[in-house]
A and B are shown apart, each in its own frame.
Chain A
Amino acid sequence: MGQLWEFLSFAEPNIRYVTFGSILLCSSAAVVGSFIFLKKKALVGDAVAHSVLPGVCLGFILAGNKNPILLIAGAFVTGWLSLVTIDYISARSKIKEDTAIGLILSVFFGIGILLLTYIQHSGNAAQSGLDHFLFGKAAAMVSDDVNIFGGMAFVLIIAVALLFKEFTLISFDVDFAKTIGFPVKGLELVLTTLTVFAIVAGIQAIGVVLMAAILITPAAAARFWTNNLRKMIFLAAAFGGFSGLAGAYISYIAPAMPTGPWIVMVISVIAFFSFFFAPQKGIVMKLISRRAMAHQIQEENVLKLLFQLGQEDKNYFQQRSVGDIQARRPFNTKLLLSALERLKKQGFLEKGDDRWQFTQAGQKKGARMVKLHRLWEVYLTRYLRIAPDHVHEDAETIEHIITPDLEAKLEKLLEYPVKDPHESDIPYL
């Protein structure tokens, strides 16, 4: 707890640097990544992230120390080269893009690991800490690194803000962008450059192996919460920033831990939470609304059945037992009982001595369900020319989704028929 307090108080200047740096890096990567996500180029992002490693190593070999400018320049060159090669291979050979991505990713990363091993055995004392570029170590950033990487992240966010309209258009409809004379190739080039920049900016804090996660996952998580692109990007930036903060904290309290995996853990938890619990699009919310729908169907079926029984006996308000109902239609007893209880709560049924009867409102709703069922049967026989013995099943489903608006249209179209195709009365109230 004391550690958390010390961390949050930002008493030490280095903590302050590392934390703000990580937040900025992760949120800028998420902002640029949002367009990669929308252009469905997630795998390309991963390939570039892996391909910057040989460049970092070459930069180190050239400089002889961890000069951030040369490391960035090296990373930039090989990251770019990987993209150009992927494009070239998929355009000029029979190899498809996914295969080209797989090839380039492993070849470049392989070369990177070779170079890294070579440097580690070269006896150069300055190399210690170079392996942090694999899995990231936020706390290893010194103020110079933070200034450079943070500055890059800041530039990225400004660039995306300026070109927001253009990036949106080339993500949505690239042919249209070409026809209106937008410099599509140039814009793609800028977006790609920004992507490489975002990756390079993040290598010290997150590492090349897991960099793709921080590009893509925040956008994927944010997409669950909103349909508005601006909100989506802000949310992605917030998710990214939060995982950056968490990563910096962990890097501080557990210096032996690499930061990248922790940042990825945090953003993944956010993504999973979004996947399950986001309103409308989340799996759990979908299940809940599906369950509500199933309940509604059961309840309406019970009311419909009670109305039919009442129509036959000419007594709508007779008390009926579960057995009476099941004699007509074999409902599952447990489901039937819970549906009956719910209907009682809603005020459509009354209960006395384990027997159930309509309230006025219940009888009215039951009548409506029977009417909708039979109207739909009339509609099917008349307009789709379906045989009367084939229309029941369809009407069983449709009756539950017809809105009062459609109901009125249906009545008018069919001119208020009195009998359904099976010669049963259609009740109007």
Chain B
Amino acid sequence: MIQQVEDPAVEVHDLTVTYHKKPVLWDIDLTLPRGAIIGIIGPNGAGKSTLIKSMMNLIPHSSGYVRIFDSNIDEVRPQVSYVPQKESVDWDFPASVMDVVLMGRYARLGLFKRPRKADREVALDCLKKVGMEAYKSRQIAQLSGGQQQRVFLARALAQEAEIYFMDEPFAGVDAATEKAIIGLLREMSEKGKTVVVIHHDIQSALEYFNWIVLLNMRLVASGPTQETLIPSLLEETYGGKLTLLAEVGNLMHKKEFTGRDKR
């Protein structure tokens, strides 16, 4: 069940991504609708983070291409916001909550310029939206996991982007934070923003997302939630890796087979 859409927010065309010559994503071909809350779901090692990172061109593609709002990513960077996994940074870094949220304004500021008063006000506003304004001067080392996630979200909001890529924003957060985040996502979607979220829990996915991408090294399904979150497709996604696919991948890794790589 792979449904394509007209005038998509994201178009992934025949994308293959390799890691040390070993394909981790095979021939992904999908389109994501604008203004939707999209869940990317699959088992560990399915390549979910790799997919969104290659959508933003953080990881080189072996073949295929990605277009965002029908443009090359580099032309629309200011409209793209990324919320990395919170474990990807060192929270012992000497910075305050406000410092981190202000980073969301850097794209607009450009090089050399310092944040202006207006940027501080936007940042403070975003902290309010995630319920963290009382913590603006707090050291990031003193935050709980849920609070760290909220700070990352506030930083993304401060970018005032059109499309948001979030890597497991619900991982390791408390119930109150989860509720606050999903409330925000819905609000963003109502304003026409597109939100792409990597998610683990199938139960809540049914309720949270209106578009689902099922992934396990290859694309299993992409379509409206009701049509994709069905037992047969979930079975296909979680029913283990395709052994032949994995074996071929391992062989390519071992032989340093470069046939697919762009030169």
Residues of A within 8 A of B (CB): 38, 40, 162-163, 165-166, 168-169, 171-173, 175-183, 223, 226-229, 232
Say whether B77 contacts A172, CB under 8 Å: no
Query: Does A181 lie within 8 Å of B93, measured CB to CB?
Result: no
The 8 Å CB contact of A181, one of B77, B88, B89, B95, is B77
Residues A176 and B111 in contact, CB atoms below 8 Å apart:
no
- Chain B residues near A40 (CB, 8 Å)? 90
Query: What is the bound-complex CA distance between A169 and B93, given in angstroms?
Result: 11
> What sequence of 0s and 1s flags, for each residue 54-94 of chain B, a beta carbon within 8 Å of any chain A beta carbon?
00101000000000000000100110111010001110011
B93 touches A172 (CB 8 A): yes
* Cβ 8 A contact of A173, one of B89, B111, B115, B159: B89
- Select one of B88, B89, B111, B141 contacting A227, CB under 8 A: B141
Most buried by A among B58, B93, B94, B95: B94
Chain B hits for A226, CB < 8 A = 94
In the assembly, what is the distance between CA of A38 and CA of B114, in Å? 21
- The answer to whether A232 and B106 touch across the interface, beta carbons within 8 angstroms, is no
> In the complex, which residues of chain B have a beta carbon less than 8 angstroms from the beta carbon of A180?
77-78, 106-107, 159
Residues of B within 8 A of A168 (CB): 95, 99
Q: Assess the A176–B103 pair: CB atoms within 8 A.
A: yes
Please measure, in the bound complex, the distance between the C-alpha atom of A227 and the C-alpha atom of B159, giving whole angstroms.
Answer: 25
- Residues of chain A contacted by B56 (CB below 8 angstroms): 178-179
**Which residues of B lie under 8 Å from residue A227 when comparing CB positions?**
94-96, 139, 141
With CB as the reference atom, state the residue of chain B lying closest to A231.
B94
On chain A, the residues within 8 Å of B89 by CB distance are 172-173
| Inter-subunit contact A173/B94 (CB<8 Å) | no
> Are B141 and A179 in touch, CB under 8 angstroms?
no
* Residues of A contacting B93 in the complex (Cβ-Cβ under 8 angstroms): 38, 171-172, 229
Q: Which residues of B contact A181 (CB under 8 A)?
A: 74, 77-78, 107
Q: How many Å lie between the Cα of A177 and that of B159 in the bound state?
A: 12
CB-CB under 8 A for A228 and B106, given A166-B111, A178-B58, A179-B77: no
Bound: A176/B80 CA distance, A = 11
Q: Lowest 9 CB-CB distances: which A-B pairs, in order?
A: A181-B77, A180-B107, A179-B82, A227-B139, A229-B94, A173-B89, A227-B94, A172-B93, A179-B56
Bound CA span A211–B139, Å:
32
C-alpha gap A274/B115 in the complex (Å): 32
Q: How far is the CB of B45 from chain A (nearest CB, A)?
A: 20
With a cutoff of 8 Å between Cβ atoms, the chain A residues found around residue B139 in the complex are: 227
Give the interface size class of chain B.
20 to 34
User: CA–CA, A176 to B167, complex, Å?
Assistant: 12
List 22 contacting pairs A-B, 8 Å CB cutoff, sorted by A.
A38-B93, A38-B94, A40-B90, A165-B106, A169-B106, A173-B89, A175-B84, A176-B103, A178-B56, A179-B58, A180-B107, A181-B77, A181-B78, A181-B107, A182-B107, A223-B94, A227-B95, A227-B139, A228-B94, A229-B93, A229-B94, A229-B95
Q: Which residues of A contact B81 (CB under 8 A)?
A: 179
Q: Hey, which chain B residues are within 8 Å of A229, CB to CB?
A: 93-95, 99
B-chain residues with CB within 8 Å of residue A175 when the two chains form the complex: 53, 58, 82, 84, 88
Q: Cα distance A172–B96 when bound, in Å?
A: 12
Minimal Cβ-Cβ distance residue in B for A233: B94
Alpha-carbon distance between A169 and B105 when the two chains are bound, in angstroms: 12
CB atoms of B112 and A163 under 8 A apart? yes
B84 touches A176 (CB 8 A): yes
Complex: how many Å from CA A152 to CA B14?
51
The chain A residue sitting closest to B104, CB to CB, is A180
How far apart are the CA atoms of A227 and B111 in the complex, in Å?
25
Per-residue CB contact flags for chain B residues 29-64 toward chain A (1 = under 8 Å, else 0) read 000000000000000000000000100101000000
Measured CB to CB, the nearest residue on chain A to B103 is A169
B95 contact set on A, CB distance < 8 A:
168, 172, 227, 229
For the complex, give the distance between the alpha carbons of A176 and B19 in Å.
21
Rounded to whole Å, the gap between the CB of B107 and the closest CB of chain A is: 4
Q: Given the complex, which residues of B lie within 8 Å of A173, measured CB to CB?
A: 84, 88-89, 103
Residues in A neighbouring B159, C-beta threshold 8 A: 180
**How many whole Å from B263's CB to the nearest CB in chain A?**
16
Give the distance in Å from the alpha carbon of A166 to the alpha carbon of B111 in the complex. Answer: 7
CB contacts (< 8 Å) of B103 on chain A: these are 169, 172-173, 176
What's the Cα separation between A178 and B84 when bound, in Å? 12
Residues of B within 8 A of A166 (CB): 111
CB of A232 within 8 A of CB of B94, answer yes
Bound: A334/B53 CA distance, A: 63
Q: Which of B171-189 contact A (CB under 8 A)?
A: none
A229, B93: Cα distance in complex, Å: 8
List residues of chain A with CB within 8 A of the CB of B84.
Answer: 173, 175-176
A222: nearest residue on chain B (CB-CB)? B94
Contact A165 B88 (CB under 8 A): no
- Of B74, B80, B96, B111, the contact of A228 (CB 8 Å cutoff): B96
Q: Contacts A176-B84, A181-B107 hold; do A165 and B58 have CB atoms under 8 A apart?
A: no
A172 neighbours in B (Cβ, 8 Å): 89-90, 93, 95, 100, 103
Proximity bits, B159-174, A CB within 8 Å = 1, else 0: 1000001000000000
Min CB–CB distance B126 → chain A (angstroms) = 15
Tell me the complex Cα distance, A141–B133, Å: 53
Which residues of chain B are within 8 angstroms of A176 by Cβ–Cβ distance?
A: 82, 84, 103, 155
Given contacts A176-B82, A183-B111, A229-B95, 9 further A-B contacts (CB under 8 A): A38-B94, A165-B109, A165-B113, A169-B103, A172-B100, A179-B165, A180-B78, A181-B74, A229-B93
Residues in chain B near residue A38, CB distance under 8 A:
93-94
Complex CA gap A165/B115 in Å reads 9
A369 to B192 CA separation, bound complex (whole angstroms): 56
Cα–Cα distance between A164 and B171 once the two chains are bound (Å): 32
- A165 and B77: CB pair below 8 A? no
Nearest-CB residue, chain B, relative to A34: B94
Whether A162 pairs with B94 at a CB distance below 8 angstroms is no
Contacts of A223 in B (CB 8 A): 94
In the bound assembly, the distance between CA atoms of A177 and B78 in angstroms comes to: 12
